[in-house]
Structure 1
Amino acid sequence: MAPAKEGSTLAAPAGYTAVPVKFSEERRTHHYLYIKEHKVREDLDQTRPQNRTLFVLNVPPYCTKESLSQIFTSCSPVESVELQDKPGPSETQSNSVSKHFSLRHLKGFKVAYVVFKHPSGVQAFKSFKVKKPIVLSGIGHSIKTGINKWIDNYRASLTDVAELQAEVDEFMKGYDERVAEEEEKAKEEEGVPDEEGWVKVTRKGRRPGLARTEAVNIRVTEREKRKRAQKELLNFYAWQHRESKREHLAELRKKFEEDKQKIALMRAQRKFRPY
């Protein structure tokens, strides 16, 4: 959205409150934040409690979490501020496994969710009146731009090896505990028939697998019987051993004669004859 000029007013969309902000005192133009109370069903968004969360639209690219917290702290203490590309569920909870692999810098205009520590924060904002644009970058809360911002982004992208190792160790510890619990539970359930009389069979010494059905067990048993029968009938008698050896020697002699003929043919076709 194009920036507004100093002293101009803009009607907010239905249900929203317009709050003007600008980057610094020297700027002649400002942007409007469109804010309303965040209302959804509690079971859909548990990270943003009812009656304590504000939804903010049209957040300019230079606006940071600290800047938004500074704005709304005048109403009530702020618990958390979350910036996203578009409205939706919390990205930090749904997409990120580790903070070391979710270093994504948002670009362009964004949306924000501001959570107060107390429900009185939302009520205080409804009576909040702004006569002139709020300055986001001042002496007490400066916003870094240009090369200083790039340096901070680069430093944030560097991974602390010790911290990452500690996080990996903690994850593996929890994983090993879950595997041990599953194996212990499988041992307890193994051999105990369920309500329909079926017994769960697992592979001992490994992680518990899926129980086989009756049809699968029958097919596996029949296949093993056929393999066993073939091994027992193959070379069972002494004359079978003699016949197999004789056939093997005949095959070797045949290949030897074929190789001799190939060598003779190659010598006859050779153009260069040194002798």
Structure 2
Amino acid sequence: MRDEGGFGCTRCYVQIEDESCAHDGGCAVFTHSSAIKKVMSASPSAVLVLSTKEHSVLTGMQKWQQEYDKEFASRTAVSGEIKSLMSEYDKEREEEGAAAQQEPDDEGWVTVTSGKMNKPHLEKIDESENKKKRSKKEKEVEPALVNFYTFQRRQTKIDHLAQLRKKFEEDKKRISMMRASRKFRPY
């Protein structure tokens, strides 16, 4: 039995209410009435192929991935649109500024500004990352406060003097050892 409703199983041509079929084949949904007429005019024993090498139809994950990717605009398109909108906005601001400079306000004052206006510029991603890395390195280079308190300074002086005394005693022992072995040559 053939169904004229526009969808159904390709083998039995029966309208399927719950989207399930007794056959293992796929079910087709027709969007144009001409496609239904072509299917109906074909012989029931003919095998109908949906996708060929010349005209492939995406299905499953590939189809969903393509639909998902189409939902978002490409970076180049978005950046081009942003640049054009920003340039239009900048032009409007310049025109407003020029008009405001020439016309006096309610009290009769005219605003005077310098002729140069710094336009904002976009930094490249690499430059901003390099700046972040440089700032981290600079922070690491900065020494911590050593000997901030008075007692810390006094203690470091005492420790330094103790080290000097210790080295002096070691040098004295070494010189006496060299004299004892008669290898002492001061000059």
Larger Rg computed on CA atoms: 2
> Which of the pair is proportionally richer in helix?
2
Same fold judged by TM-score > 0.5?
no
Q: Which has the higher contact order (CA 8 A, sep 6+)?
A: 1
> Which of the pair is proportionally richer in strand?
1
